[in-house]
Amino acid sequence: MRNVKLNNLGRLLLMPVLQKAEGNILAVKQVKELINKIGFLEKEIEEKGLVSKNGGVSWDKDSELELEISNTVYVLLKKQVEQLSKTGKISLQWLDLVERILTKEDYDKMLKRLEEKEKGDVK
């Protein structure tokens, strides 16, 4: 298990990634449970002042939600992050989320592989 703290933006960014996750029945069941935990309840929407307009979401009050992510879900998320990185879809918004989700060791390994690839050391 891995403990992760997600702010409002992290929860919003992670939701569509989790919804695309594929794996065995246990993995998908755990993903579904995580989706249920990170989704915003009606009360939270009111308390945070969450508003959806013009294709975006804004809020008045940010907060962090602490979650436990199973090893199975962690592996799925790590693969998703690697895929987003390979396709150049990591934005500044995503960087904070990636740093929160990945272990320092996995994050450092990913950076090292990318730096080596950039130098032409790895194909």
pLDDT values of the chain reduced to their tens digit, one per residue, 123 residues:
999 999 999 999 999 999 988 999 999 999 999 999 999 999 999 999 999 988 889 999 999 999 999 999 999 999 999 999 989 999 998 999 999 999 999 999 999 998 998 888 555
pLDDT at 119: 86
| Burial letters 70-106, b for 16+ CB under 10 A, else e | bebbbebbbebbeeebeeeeeeeebeebbeebbeeee
Show the domain range for 101. 2-119
pLDDT at 110: 92
How many independent structural domains does the chain possess? 1
pLDDT at 120: 81
pLDDT at 117: 87
CB 35 within 8 A of CB 81: no
